[in-house]
Amino acid sequence: MTSHRLPPLPGQVALPVQKSAEPSPARLDGFNGAPAEEIIRALLTCCRSPRWAHRLAAHRPYPDLAALLAASDEAAYDLTPADLAEALAGESLAPLPDGAYSAAHTALGAAHAAYESKFGHVFVICLDDVPPGEALDQVLGGIRSRLTNDPEEERVTTAEELRRLARGRLSRLVTDGTRTPRTAGTGCP
């Protein structure tokens, strides 16, 4: 098997979502055949949990994208509260879309501060199916809604959002070699 290296990952840039197609056999072969350290580094850009990344790398090769995403979901479901905290510590606020600064920026900053004060970590939400023009409203609504959660309820919700983020990022990584974020509140793609 020829080793196909994944191209370097770009920094976090909010871009419109494009539905991923099945990766070419060469891309999936590259993912399956690359050195473990390289794949773990790439996987950590999808989810900052070393346990999740090591587990996915260790279970290669994957026959297709569906099997890889199923393994990603299973590994995400198995994250302990400590693993989740570690993954969240690696998330950061995503940049706002162009033209979204001003009053919205102030409201978003206040909402993030209230969320982090209550729950002790950055807010994550997956925006993969949200049109870019609706992302800011979705984030603000999500934060306001989730501020009513108790800590355990929010832990479960956050874990699910992180799983969705990792799934979307991983799909883009293997399909086209990017990890374009489509999240807000974090660098969620």
Residues of the chain with pLDDT under 70: 1-21, 94-103, 178-189
Residue 11, pLDDT score:
35
Calpha distance 117→110 (Å, rounded):
10
Residue 73, pLDDT score:
97
The b/e string for 18-40 (b: 16+ C-beta within 10 A; e otherwise) is eebeebeeebbbbbbebeeeebb
Helices (H), the chain: 25-33, 36-44, 50-58, 65-77, 81-89, 103-119, 135-146, 151-176
Pairing of strands 125-126, 183-184: antiparallel
Calpha distance 128→94 (Å, rounded):
13
